[in-house]
Amino acid sequence: MPANSVDILVVGGGIHGAAIARDAAGRGLKVMLAEKEDYASFTSSASSKLAHGGLRYLEHMEFGLVRESLSERAGLLRTAPHLVSPLKFLLPIFAWQKRSAWFVHTGLALYDLLSLGGEMPGSGRLAQSEIDALPYLRHDHLKAVLHYHDAHADDARLTLSAALDARGRGADIANRRTVTAIVPLANGYTATIVERGGTNEVEARFIVNTAGPFVGQLDAMIPHGPSPQNIRFVRGSHIVVPMPEPAETCAYTLQDEGERIIFSIPWLGGNFLMIGTTDIPQTGAPGHAVCSNEEKAYLLDAYNRYFSRSDGPVADSDIVFDWAGLRTLHGSPDEAASRISREVTLETSTQGNGGFLSLVGGKLTTHRATAEQVLARLRSMGLEMGPAWTRNTPQYGGTLDRKTLLARAAEGPAVVSQHTRQRWAFTYGDKIETLYGQLQTDPGLAEEIAPGVPRVELEHVASVEDAGTSEDFLMRRTKLQLFLDEAGREMIEDWFAKN
């Protein structure tokens, strides 16, 4: 194989691209990943931050998808305990809703059945005394409150974890690396790549297109490529408001007057409530999605219909943050956005003994299984590789359970605050030991560049995690954007500008 050639070029550094690169590298393949911006800078950092089975998909009879998702949820709780944690959901049933308590209870029983072996508590129904203790839920026309469990997930860091694990297994992983042209060869392709001011060419036997909203643009670079797909862009938006006092400790699954589901989720240590999501068809050129004023109003109305607070309804002025992401799905033009399946669709074309594979659809929760599915397809196209290996292998940073991580945070160096050490534990996982080791070698690295942000952390994310801007750090390596004031954010921006 020529020096500047790979078995697989993965284009797109979202959760699926990172997972495919990780799986392939672990099977002994030579892999390159190209992400034109930052890892998870589009859809993979704009989710509802859940590892879940997808309760609502049971209504659509997608039992296989739900079962697979629940199995993968259990796997993520084992292999990425620093990034994925159990979360209890309450599901209020009101007289005005289309779905009755009996209907929803039956669905939850099926959800429990499909998740057997996942070690999550079973679903059930709150007693009246428990309902009375809920601080904000309206009681008018309330028929019952059911409960079940799913899991919270840090979507951006799950993506980064897969990418860094791939690098550790020999893959060439980089952000701000753009594929600008693809030319067919006798066996595979030559890709022109621009990164960090330079241009080079890479020969790839197979190219895997995981470009998300930009999947069609990459497909168009391939002569005689995959068949055109019925791609639908569906925007999902979320808003964030401060957590009220007393704090909500459970998440809620809310039903609107139609069939849509909206979540209200305690987020970031219970400091905020995250409310979402929407299902809005989006047309036109893909790009960074924006939460519209109409979506904000819809989410606020949905929340206020369920909850009554002494300080009045939650209003637009209470929103401290919002985001939107584009789900790239395979569906017919006349299909309702909320009903389009999240199942993965793979389209392929061959080029000699190589080929091109394009991925549409998929879920954050099932990214590992999706990567296995892609590798199985490439094997069927003639690419020899080792066996599957990822099911029970810890993610990058995932070798310590949550109890041990809490202990390591408590035992860490006193030059860094307990609050910061605990944040590190559930951001970097077992890599907290790397930060501790560097502090032991050079205590001066404990100098705070911004409140709660020691220099050792910024040097780590820049040198190890490819963070190149303040946004990379504040929004995707951490969520400190919501905790630092303007002066603190400017301090971080200045540090990246100078380093």
**DSSP state letters, 33-72:** EEESSSTT-SGGGSS-SEE---GGGGTTT-HHHHHHHHHH
pLDDT of residue 3: 59
- At residue 433, the pLDDT reads 97
Give the amino acid at 90.
Answer: L
* DSSP H/E element including 348: strand 345-351
Q: For residues 48 and 87, is the Cβ–Cβ distance under 8 A?
A: no
Q: Give the mean pLDDT of the chain.
A: 95
H or E segment to which residue 204 belongs: strand 198-209
The number of beta carbons lying within 10 Å of the beta carbon of residue 7 is 22
Task: Give the residue-averaged pLDDT of 378-391.
Answer: 98
Taking the C-alpha atoms of residue 149 and residue 153, their distance in angstroms, rounded to an integer, is 13
| Residues 79, 94: Cα–Cα separation, whole Å | 38
pLDDT at 218: 94
Under 8 Å between Cβ of 395 and 35:
no
pLDDT digits (tens, 9 = 90+) for 459-492: 999 999 999 999 999 999 999 999 999 999 999 9
pLDDT at 260: 86
- How far apart are alpha carbons 477 and 471 in whole angstroms? 9
Whole-number pLDDT of residue 337: 78
pLDDT, position 423: 98
Residue, of 261 and 337, whose pLDDT is higher: 261
DSSP 437-461: HHHHH-GGGG-EEETTEEHHHHHHH
**Nearest partner of 276 among 47, 456, 33, 20, judged by Cα:** 47
Q: Which residues, 6 or more positions from 56, have their beta carbon under 8 angstroms from its beta carbon?
A: 261
- Which sign, positive or negative, has the C-alpha torsion 324, 327, 332, 333? positive
What is the amino acid identity at position 340?
Answer: I
Least confident range of 321-325, 332-336, 424-428: 332-336
Residue 55 φ then ψ, to 5° = -55, -40
More confident residue, 119 or 231: 231
CA pair distance 463, 367, nearest whole angstrom: 26
- 316: Cβ–Cβ under 8 A, 6 or more apart, which residues? 296, 297, 300
CB 253 within 8 A of CB 263: yes
DSSP lists the bridge partners of residue 190 as 183, 203
What is the reported pLDDT for 130? 97
Segment 44-64, tens digit of pLDDT: 999 999 999 999 888 888 899
Considering only residues 333 and 300, tell me which one the structure prediction assigns the higher pLDDT. 300
**What residue has token string 């643009």?**
217
Whether the predicted pLDDT of 288 surpasses 80: no
Average confidence (pLDDT) over 251-277: 93
Per-residue model confidence (pLDDT) at position 334: 78
The mean pLDDT value for 344-348 works out to 94
Closest by CA position to 346, among listed 357, 333, 335, 337:
357
Q: Which comes out higher in pLDDT, residue 316 or 56?
A: 316
Give DSSP secondary structure letters for 357-410. Answer: EEEE---STTHHHHHHHHHHHHHHTT--------TTSPPTT-SS-HHHHHHHHH
At 1 the pLDDT is 52
119 is written with which tokens? 């070690």
pLDDT at residue 332 greater than cutoff 90: no
Residue range 99-106: average pLDDT?
90
CA distance 42 to 153: 16
Question: What is the pLDDT averaged over residues 173-190?
Answer: 97
CA–CA distance, 396 with 379 (Å, rounded to integer): 25
CA dihedral 425, 430, 436, 438 (to 10 degrees): -130
The CA distance from 162 to 481, in Å, is 23
**Residue 2: what pLDDT?**
55
Query: In this predicted structure, what is the pLDDT of residue 122?
Result: 93
pLDDT at 257 over 80: no
Of 216-220, 264-268, 376-380, the range with the lowest mean pLDDT is 216-220
CA 366 to chain centre: 10
What is the percent of the chain where pLDDT is above 70? 99
* 313 contact partners, CB below 8 Å, separation of at least 6: 300, 304
